[in-house]
Structure 1
Amino acid sequence: MTDSLSGPRSTGRDALLGRAIGHFAEHGVGDTSLRALAEAIGTSHRMLIYHFGSREGLLAAVVDVVEQGARDTLARMVEEARDDPDPFEAGMRFWHLVTDEALVYGPLFFELSSHAMLGLPHAVDLRERLVTTWLDALVEMWGVRGVPKRAARLQARLDLAVARGLLHDLLLTGDRRAVDAAMRSYARTAVDALVGTP
C-alpha cells in the first residue's frame, strides 16, 4: 500500500508519510502526538509541522494514502475479474490479496474507519468512500458476469459485510486457515446462486 512512499527515490514529505504510516500500522494512531511520532520515526516535530501543518494534516494525508491503496486494489480486482472466466477463482484471488494487505494495514484501516464513524475531521470523507467505492467495484464485478444491477448491488453489500467481518476475525484470531475456509464457502454459495458454474 505504501511502497510508492517508502522506495529509495522517496524524499521529504513522502518519505516521512511512508514512515508514519508504517508506525501507525504497527502501533496504531491512538492519541500519538506529533512529537512522539517524530521521535519514533527518526525526524523532528518541526519537520512534521513543515510538511503537514498539524496532527490533523498528517492524519488526513495518512487517510488519503490508505484510501488510494484501497482504490488501487479495487482497480486491480475489477480488471482481473474481467479476464477470468471463473468468478469463484477471481473472487478468491482478490480475497487473498486483501488479506495479505490486511495483515499489515488492517488495524490501521479499522482504526481510521472508527475515526470516520466518529466524524473526526481527518477521516470524515471516508464515511462515504469506504462503502460506496467498494460497493461500486463489487457491483461492476457481478455485472461483468451478467448479474442484474439490483441483484448485484444487494450481493455487493453482502460481500462487503462478509469480507470485512472475516478480516476483523482474522486480525483478532490470526486464524487465516479458518477465515479462508469461511470465505471459500461463502464465495462458492454466492457464485453458484448468481452465476452458476462457468
Structure 2
Amino acid sequence: MIGTSPRAKLLDAAIDHIARHGGAGKSLRALAADLGTSHRMLIYHFGSKEGLLTAVAREVEARQRAALAGLGPADAGREFWRRLTDESLRANEKLFFQLYGQALGGTPGTTGLLDGVVDDWLGPIEALLAGLGVPEADRAAHARLGLAVARGLLLDLVTTGDRAAVDAAMERFLAMSGGHA
C-alpha cells in the first residue's frame, strides 16, 4: 500500500484490480464501479480515465524500481527478470505499453508517463552495476542497454506470450554482457 489518503487508497485498489482483471478497455464508470467508488471521485483524484491508468503505470514502475534497489548484485539480473515476467504483472505491463504509445502520440492524460520513464531507471541500474564492479565510465551505457533489452523483451512477452523464447533471449543477453545488465 502506498499511503492512506483517499487518492492513495484508490490507486492501490486500481493497481490490484488492473493486475487481476485488466482495465484499459473499460469505461471510467465501469472502473469506478469495480473499485467501489464513483467516476466523479476518480476524475477528482486523477483527472480522467487516462490519468488514473497513467498513475497506475507510474506507481507499478516505482514499485519495480524499489524491488530492483532491494536486490544484491549477485544474480540481480536474473532475479529481477524473473520478477518482471511474473504472470501477476502481465496486465500492468500490457497497460504500460498501451499508455507509452498513447503518451508518445500526445493523448491527454497520458503524457505524464513519459516523465522519467527512462531516466528514473538509470540511477538504480547504475547503482547495481557499480556493485557488480562495472567501471563508472561504462555504467550509463550498460544501464540504458539493459533497460532497452528488458523493455523490448517485455513487449515481446505481452505480444506473443512466448515465455520460453523471451527467457532464452534474456539469458543470452545476460551471458553476453557478463551478467552486467
Fold conserved between structures, TM > 0.5: yes
- Structure 1 match to 2:174: 187
The number of equivalent residue pairs is 179
Deviations 1:11-43 (A, max 9, x none): 95444333333444433425x443232234443
- Whole-angstrom distance in 2 between the partners of 1:118 and 1:70: 25
- Displacement of 1:93 in angstroms is 0.8
Q: Could you tell me the TM-score, scaled by structure 2's length? A: 0.78
Query: What is residue 159 of structure 1 aligned with on the other side?
Result: 146
User: Under a length normalisation based on structure 1, what TM-score does the superposition of the two structures give?
Assistant: 0.72
CA–CA separation in structure 1 for the residues paired with 2:76 and 2:58: 27
Q: What do you get for the CA RMSD once the two structures are aligned?
A: 3.0
Q: Following superposition of structure 1 onto structure 2, how do residues 104-123 of structure 1 map, counting pairs within 5 Å?
A: 104-123=91-110
Tell me the distance in 1 between the aligned counterparts of 2:53 and 2:89.
19
Q: Unaligned regions of 5+ residues in structure 2, if any?
A: none
Query: Based on CA coordinates, which of the two structures has the bigger radius of gyration?
Result: 1
Which position in structure 2 is the counterpart of 1:27? 22
Structure 1 position 95, deviation (Å):
0.8
Alpha-carbon distance change, 33 to 183 in structure 1, aligned in 2, over 3 angstroms:
same
CA deviations on 1:59-78 (whole Å, 9 max, x unpaired) are 4543442232233223223x
Q: Which consecutive unaligned segments of at least 5 residues does structure 1 have? A: none
Structure richer in helix, relative to its length: 1
Residues 71 and 123 of structure 1, relative CA distance in 2, 3 Å threshold: farther
The aligned residue for residue 91 of structure 1 is 77
Identity of aligned residues (%): 46
Report the equivalent of 1:173.
160
